[in-house]
């Protein structure tokens, strides 16, 4: 922009009366210029409307329109720099709505509906509800984009509780299908979401209050009573018994489907996957069974005394024994299992082992937990703190949770070896323990199962009195083993029973808090 033209325009903008050359004109021009450069003078901030203002404005606009965009910006910058703070605020309020863009409405107009849908698909439920109320176009994008369906699918992918509910209530069949497949409208998923939230709140309340439906399997072992170990899935429960047998139960009907025999001692530990069942016994052997046929595929003879616990995953198996040793095995196949290394260091029976890709963790009657490198099998560190022998533990990520015959549960940081919390409440030896992201569930020789708040236990500020959420009492003997998920606990005991504590399907008719109507199935061996 030419300097002369800019000066001329500024002069026009700062001049009050173009047709007057009197002293009064000079005085008013000075007043307006001072107001622009130094702030408003006393009196009204609003410029009085005067006769020549419209003509002067038109001249300025005509000149302004002749300039390039760059010159226009430069001129406005000069103009704004001469204004006071009050004027800046007024201009800012004027510009704000001009600078805002409704991109969700604008994108579909450009044929970019999928981008608008993708942006809104990251919203949580509360924000999605608010977005529906913005305008009809936003509501259309959410509806046609099936964003409530996508939100539910995201929750099912990332949260085990949502996944479990989708399977049990069978609305998973309406998920993860593309638009070409026949699926319900967006309104179905919009109404489904609050129902799922209500179900989740009910389940959480049932856990807190101990409300459950109880099912009982009476094993009725002929010679010696007791169910030492178990594992379950949606279809079956596999249990190892004191009478040397392995019994497989239908999880729905609670009927015994199959009995596996072959061990000459009590079945103390087991684990299965989709191909095999691996069991350890007081007869000192480890046996591998076909999970479908029940055929014995392999027998491992290594330990000198009872095999107390075992774990296997991704071609690696770890067993431990009353003989104080830990054996690490390579599992190429069910019939091709070779001993890799024997770990020695405990001074008493090794009662339990667990492992991942980084560490093998073992616990013993010598009151210690030992940590070993999974890759090298070298010793890493010892966790000291329990005052008596350790009967059970679970290890995941950095957290180890252990139970002992000192009647306590301890939480440990495996990397530094620090004890993070001691949980007290059981009256006898803590025999079994499991945890997930929310809870710790423990079973003890006092016949009780306790549910603990894991997140509170990890918070050093949480009072000890708030950590135990519920104590469940139904077993009449020592609790030997338990497993749980978001909906249930399944436990076994010296009383020769397997109990299923169902926190999802709870009848509210005439039940007292903490106890529910039970269904019992009795198996009588022939």
What digits encode the pLDDT tens for the residues 160-174? Answer: 999 999 998 888 888
What digits encode the pLDDT tens for the residues 263-322? Answer: 999 999 999 999 999 999 999 999 999 999 999 999 999 999 999 999 999 999 999 999
Chain centroid to Cα 205, Å, comes to: 18
Distance CA 270, CA 288 (A): 10
What digits encode the pLDDT tens for the residues 308-366? Answer: 999 999 999 999 999 999 999 999 999 999 999 999 999 999 999 999 999 999 999 99
Least Cα distance to 210 among 503, 488, 444 occurs for: 503
Hey, what long-range contacts does 105-114 have (CB within 8 A, 24 or more apart)? Answer: 105/135, 105/137, 105/138, 108/137, 108/141, 113/141, 113/144, 113/145
Distance CA 31, CA 43 (A): 12
pLDDT at 23: 43
Residue 128 pLDDT exceeds 80: yes
Looking at the chain, how many residues does it have?
526
Which DSSP state fits 184?
-
Phi and psi for 197 in degrees, rounded to 5?
Answer: -60, -40
Phi and psi for 283 in degrees, rounded to 5?
Answer: -85, 5
CA dihedral sign, ordered 437, 439, 445, 447: negative
Residue 465 pLDDT exceeds 90: yes
Q: What is the dihedral of CA 93, 99, 102, 104, to 10 degrees?
A: -140
Q: What is the 3-state secondary structure (H, E, C) of 142-168?
A: HHHCCHHHHHHHHHHHHCHHHHHHHHH
Is the CATH code 2.130.10.10 the one for domain 209-502?
A: yes
Q: Is 190 helix (H, G, I), strand (E, B) or coil?
A: helix
Per DSSP bridges, beta strands 518-522 and 213-218 are parallel
Distance CA 226, CA 266 (A): 9
- In the numeric block, the tokens 């026949």 are attached to 182
The domains of the chain are located at 103-207, 209-502
**Segment holding 431, helix H or strand E:** strand 430-435
What digits encode the pLDDT tens for the residues 358-410? Answer: 999 999 999 999 999 999 999 999 999 999 999 999 999 999 999 999 999 99
What's the number of CA atoms in the CB half-sphere (13 Å) around residue 345?
A: 19
- End-to-end CA gap in the chain: 106
Contacts of residue 31, defined as CB under 8 A and 6 or more positions apart, other chains included, come to 16, 41
Are 340 and 321 in contact, with CB atoms under 8 Å apart? no
What digits encode the pLDDT tens for the residues 57-111? Answer: 889 999 999 999 999 999 999 999 999 999 999 999 988 888 888 888 888 888 8
Cα 129 to Cα 120, 124, 153, 192, 456: the distances in Å are 11, 9, 17, 14, 32
Phi and psi for 58 in degrees, rounded to 5?
Answer: -65, -40
Least Cα distance to 301 among 285, 288, 287 occurs for: 285
The whole-model pTM stands at 0.78
Are 331 and 316 in contact, with CB atoms under 8 Å apart? yes
Distance CA 370, CA 384 (A): 9
Least Cα distance to 196 among 134, 258, 260, 152 occurs for: 152
Are 239 and 498 in contact, with CB atoms under 8 Å apart? yes
Chain centroid to Cα 339, Å, comes to: 37
Chain centroid to Cα 453, Å, comes to: 15
pLDDT at 136: 93
The structure tokens listed for 281 are 């016994």
Protein fold of 103-207: Monooxygenase (1.20.1280)
Cα 411–417–422 angle (5° rounding)?
25
What digits encode the pLDDT tens for the residues 212-251? Answer: 999 999 998 877 899 999 999 999 999 999 999 999 999 9
Distance CA 285, CA 217 (A): 28
Beta bridge partners of 341: 328
Are 198 and 498 in contact, with CB atoms under 8 Å apart? no
Cα 1 to Cα 6, 7, 36, 63, 64: the distances in Å are 7, 10, 22, 11, 10
Cα 153 to Cα 27, 100, 166, 174: the distances in Å are 73, 32, 10, 10
Phi and psi for 233 in degrees, rounded to 5?
Answer: -140, -165
**Segment holding 460, helix H or strand E:** none
Distance CA 166, CA 274 (A): 22
Higher-pLDDT residue of 186 and 309 is: 309
Which DSSP state fits 49?
P
């Amino acid at each position: 922009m030419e300097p002369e033209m800019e000066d001329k325009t500024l002069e026009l903008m700062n001049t009050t009366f173009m047709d007057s050359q009197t002293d009064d004109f000079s005085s008013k021009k000075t007043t307006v210029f001072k107001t622009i450069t130094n702030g408003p003078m006393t009196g009204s901030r609003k410029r009085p409307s005067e006769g020549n203002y419209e003509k002067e404005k038109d001249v300025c606009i005509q000149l302004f329109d002749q300039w390039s965009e760059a010159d226009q910006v430069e001129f406005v910058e000069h103009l704004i720099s001469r204004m006071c703070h009050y004027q800046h605020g007024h201009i800012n309020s004027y510009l704000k709505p001009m600078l805002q863009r409704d991109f969700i409405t604008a994108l579909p107009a450009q044929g970019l509906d999928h981008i608008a849908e993708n942006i809104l698909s990251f919203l949580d439920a509360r924000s999605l509800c608010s977005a529906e109320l913005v305008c009809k176009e936003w509501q259309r994008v959410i509806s046609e984009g099936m964003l409530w369906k996508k939100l539910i699918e995201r929750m099912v992918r990332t949260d085990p509780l949502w996944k479990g509910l989708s399977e049990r209530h069978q609305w998973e069949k309406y998920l993860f299908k593309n638009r070409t497949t026949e699926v319900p409208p967006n309104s179905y998923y919009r109404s489904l979401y609050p129902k799922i939230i209500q179900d989740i709140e009910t389940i959480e309340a049932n856990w807190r209050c101990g409300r459950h439906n109880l099912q009982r399997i009476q094993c009725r072992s002929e010679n010696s009573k007791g169910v030492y170990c178990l594992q379950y899935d949606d279809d079956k429960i596999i249990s190892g018994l004191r009478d040397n047998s392995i019994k497989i139960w239908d999880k729905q009907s609670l009927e015994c489907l199959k009995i596996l025999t072959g061990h000459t001692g009590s079945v103390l530990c087991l684990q299965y996957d989709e191909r095999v069942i691996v069991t350890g016994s007081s007869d000192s052997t480890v046996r591998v069974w076909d999970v479908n046929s029940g055929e014995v595929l392999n027998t491992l003879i290594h330990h000198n005394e009872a095999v107390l616990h075992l774990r296997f995953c991704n071609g690696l198996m770890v067993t431990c024994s009353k003989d104080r040793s830990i054996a690490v095995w390579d599992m190429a196949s069910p019939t091709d299992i070779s001993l890799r290394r024997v770990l020695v260091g405990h001074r008493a029976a090794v009662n339990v082992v667990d492992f991942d890709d980084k560490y093998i963790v073992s616990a013993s009657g010598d009151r210690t937990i030992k940590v070993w490198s999974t890759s090298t099998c070298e010793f890493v560190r010892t966790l000291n703190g329990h005052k008596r022998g350790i009967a059970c533990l679970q290890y995941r990520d950095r957290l180890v949770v252990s139970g002992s015959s000192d009647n306590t549960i301890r939480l440990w940081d495996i990397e530094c070896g620090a004890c993070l919390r001691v949980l007290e409440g059981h009256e006898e030896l803590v025999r079994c323990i499991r945890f997930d992201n929310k809870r710790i569930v423990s079973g003890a020789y006092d016949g009780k199962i306790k549910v603990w708040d894991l997140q509170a236990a990890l918070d050093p500020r949480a009072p000890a009195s708030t950590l135990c959420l519920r104590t469940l009492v139904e077993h009449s003997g020592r609790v030997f083993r338990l497993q749980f998920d978001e909906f249930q606990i399944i436990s076994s005991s010296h009383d020769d029973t397997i109990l299923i504590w169902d926190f999802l399907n709870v009848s509210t008719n005439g039940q007292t808090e903490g106890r529910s109507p039970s269904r019992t199935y009795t198996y009588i061996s022939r």
